[in-house]
């Protein structure tokens, strides 16, 4: 049997590049250097640049694996995005703001190579889970230029959207039983200070301290039964964003624990909504926000074309009659 197909080119080809070195940083007590790397899934398109999503893996700031979620990130990419999963240094190598500086360096690298990877530099968003959610929120809210260190400093590390999953947002309010427990916590190791003994200083390193009316759109996901990062952490950030007039949505996943399998499901059915929202996964649903400005411009163009067409139909141009030989 033979089958002949006539196909239209509607989607670009996608490619995955692993272990792209985006920066070199000090290592082994400052005597050596090592590479920081990212994995990138991007479309090969000459005619269109696409929004870029920066994904930040969790792991309590003590461990991370940038390749752990590539299966899910590939789904995002196939819905019209480039997706970069970024390595950052953990608390074993240094304290805050080191990991945040790394994420911002990755963003600048990608913007500097936007033409190479078909990226829209005006539509960058950041997403992450747990410790990565904290870094995502900090990256979106804290635009202090002192955090931009290393190369490609002519490029901005600011982003246009943020989607943190079960993020710590105010470490000063974590429910530690004692200063001794807090001193050994992953949060204190990341900040380089005992949070219970330095609550004011700790809070100054948290997303809740950087909310302003200029914050980009946020969509926050958190399980209501999270015993690792209390659900209240996302509530506080969401309420602060709303209070400042920002575009913010908090999706409470009923019954979900920290990093629960619920977050890997393809359908989201809000208990307080009439409609069922379907998306490749939770992340894809949010990042439709990236398309907002592009869609608005397209709608205006379409409306203008329809108005021009309507005007032509209502007042058509005069018809010129050609003379015949009989006349």
As a whole number of angstroms, the distance between CA 314 and CA 211 comes to: 52
3-state SS, one letter per residue, for 60-127: CCCCCCCCCCHHHHHHHHHCCCEEEEECCCCCCCCCCCHHHHHHHHHHHHHHHCHHHHCEEEEEEEEE
Higher-pLDDT residue of 129, 307: 129
Q: What is the pLDDT of residues 263-274, one digit of tens each?
A: 888 765 455 433
Higher-pLDDT residue of 211, 291: 211
Q: Average pLDDT of 220-227?
A: 97
- Before 97, cis peptide (omega within 30)? yes
- Tell me if 244 sits within 8 A of 210, measured CB to CB: no
* Token digits of residue 101: 């500086």
Angle at 195 between CA 86 and CA 57, to 5 degrees: 15
Q: What is the pLDDT of residues 116-157, one digit of tens each?
A: 999 999 999 999 999 999 999 999 999 999 999 999 999 999
Q: What is the pLDDT of residues 2-56, one digit of tens each?
A: 999 998 888 888 999 999 999 999 999 889 999 999 999 998 876 789 999 999 9
For the entire predicted model, the pTM comes to: 0.82
Q: In this predicted structure, what is the pLDDT of residue 273?
A: 39
Q: In this predicted structure, what is the pLDDT of residue 68?
A: 94
Q: In this predicted structure, what is the pLDDT of residue 283?
A: 44
Arch. (CATH architecture) of 13-170+206-313: 3-Layer(aba) Sandwich (3.40)
Interacting residues of 54 by C-beta distance below 8 A, sequence separation 6+: 84, 86, 103, 106, 107, 110, 124, 125, 126, 127, 136, 139, 159
Q: Where are the domains of the chain?
A: 13-170+206-313
Q: Average pLDDT of 257-265?
A: 91
């Amino acid at each position: 049997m033979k089958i002949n197909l006539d196909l239209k080119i509607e989607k670009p080809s996608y490619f995955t590049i692993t272990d792209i070195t985006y920066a070199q940083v000090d290592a082994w007590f400052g005597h050596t250097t090592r590479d920081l790397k990212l994995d990138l899934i991007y479309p090969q398109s000459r005619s269109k640049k696409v929004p870029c999503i920066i994904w930040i893996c969790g792991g309590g700031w003590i461990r991370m694996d940038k390749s752990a979620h590539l299966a899910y990130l590939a789904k995002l990419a196939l819905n019209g995005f480039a997706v970069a999963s970024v390595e950052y240094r953990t608390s074993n190598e240094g304290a805050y703001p080191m990991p945040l500086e790394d994420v911002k360096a990755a963003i600048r690298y990608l913007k500097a190579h936007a033409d190479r990877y078909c990226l829209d530099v005006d539509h960058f968003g950041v997403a992450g889970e747990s410790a990565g959610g904290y870094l995502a929120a900090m990256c979106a809210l804290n635009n202090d230029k002192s955090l931009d260190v290393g190369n490609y400093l002519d490029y901005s590390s600011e982003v246009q959207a943020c989607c943190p999953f079960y993020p710590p947002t105010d470490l000063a309010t974590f429910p530690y039983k004692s200063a001794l427990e807090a001193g050994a916590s992953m949060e204190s190791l990341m900040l380089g200070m005992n949070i219970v003994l330095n609550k004011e200083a700790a809070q100054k390193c948290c997303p809740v301290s950087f909310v302003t009316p200029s914050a980009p759109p946020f969509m926050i996901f958190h399980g209501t039964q999270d015993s690792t990062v209390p659900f209240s952490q996302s509530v506080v950030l969401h309420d602060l964003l709303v209070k400042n007039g920002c575009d913010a949505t908090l999706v409470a996943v009923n019954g979900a624990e920290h990093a629960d399998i619920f977050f890997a499901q393809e359908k989201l059915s809000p208990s307080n909504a009439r409609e069922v929202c379907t998306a490749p996964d939770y992340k894809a649903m949010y990042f439709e926000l990236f398309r907002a400005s592009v869609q608005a411009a397209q709608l205006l163009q379409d409306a203008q074309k329809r108005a021009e067409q309507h005007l032509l139909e209502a007042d058509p141009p005069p018809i010129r009659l050609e003379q015949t030989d009989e006349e």
